[in-house]
Amino acid sequence: MRLVDLDPQWIMKDGERVGFTFFSPVQSAGMGKSRWRQSCFPNPTPTDEQFELLGDAPVQHCNPSCGWKIAGGIDVASFETMTVTPSIDGSAGGLWHGFITNGEIR
């Protein structure tokens, strides 16, 4: 599956990209009928700031002490070719755990 098939969206702050969200390719039955998104921030982002940036939408927030590396940097990244390390782990909330490599969800 490709990341672009999961409606990825940039998270913006003061006109700059600070992260992104995408629809989780999996969702547990306990999550209700809303389709949940997962978030990813390249820099550790405190929980209160994540709530401010993401609002009340059904989005699984990231571990506030973690940051993910986006190959080439978030400023020039493209959802079609993006590689993110380490893995994105949404399993604690019943969502997807895996890798984004060259725009592919694995």
Q: Write out pLDDT tens, residues 69-94.
A: 999 999 999 999 999 999 999 988 88
Q: Copy the structure tokens of residue 24.
A: 């989780």
Per the structure block, which two tokens stand in for 78?
A: 């493209």
Kindly list the domain boundaries of the chain, sorted by start residue.
3-105
Q: Is the pTM of this model over 0.75?
A: yes
96 band by pLDDT with thresholds 50, 70 and 90: very high
d(CA 6, CA 25): 7
Phi, psi dihedrals of residue 41, rounded to the nearest 5° = -125, 130
> Which pLDDT band, with edges at 50, 70 and 90, does 44 fall under?
very high
Q: Where are the beta strands (DSSP E) in the chain?
A: 9-13, 16-23, 37-40, 59-60, 69-70, 84-89, 97-101, 104-105
